Amino acid sequence: MAVHRLLIDDFVTIDYGLIAIHSSLEDYRLAYFMNRELSILLEKSNHDIGVTINEGESCFSRFIFENPDDDSMWNLIQNKAKVISMQSNTSTSLFEDTDMSLTTNVFLMPELKKVDYVLKIENIPAHLELDDIVEKLLTIKQVATAYTIDHTKLKSKNNLIF
């Protein structure tokens, strides 16, 4: 009897590019400036990306643009979020029964802790170069820096599946 093997590697193709963006802008303002510079139409997604950690649950904002002309999909994702957890102090001290709020920073991509936003472009068309997009992003005054990310070296690339 013949044995048939399926090579899963043939089906797993990574067809997306990642760009790291350092900016102190709010997410909606960055999306506005990106729409203006890149001639795209990023809009706020109804489905934020949720991550659960020991301290609590956090949501990362997401802006999406689906280009019907070339079937590309653009995702602007917030990389930093804060989780506020309440802890009660029950020890016998001068300030008994006080509630303390602890703020913990949570990262969608923990190995990129200094990155504020990640731009993920799926199904990149042949006429589009990531370096050209980075150059256009750098023309936005409020963007400190932007650069491409090699997704093969990321440990938490599963966080980019949504």
Domain boundaries, the chain: 16-33+41-52+61-80+110-157
CB atoms within 10 A of CB 4: 5
Distance set, CA 35 to CA 28, 30, 89, 147 (Å): 10, 9, 47, 18
- Topology of the domain covering 16-33+41-52+61-80+110-157: TATA-Binding Protein (3.30.310)
Task: Outline where DSSP puts E strands in the chain.
Answer: 16-23, 43-44, 49-53, 56-60, 62-67, 72-78, 80-89, 98-107, 117-122, 143-149
CA-based max dimension of the chain: 80
**43-100 pLDDT per residue, tens:** 999 988 887 777 667 889 999 999 998 889 999 999 998 877 666 665 556 656 666 7
d(C-alpha 162, C-alpha 160), whole Å: 6
Q: Which residues contact 96 (CB under 8 A, 6 or more apart)?
A: 89, 90
Q: pTM higher than 0.85, yes or no?
A: no
d(C-alpha 45, C-alpha 78), whole Å: 12
Q: Which residues contact 132 (CB under 8 A, 6 or more apart)?
A: none
**101-124 pLDDT per residue, tens:** 777 888 888 899 999 999 999 998
Contact (CB, 8 A) for 42 and 34: yes
pLDDT band at 21 (very low <50, low <70, confident <90, very high): very high
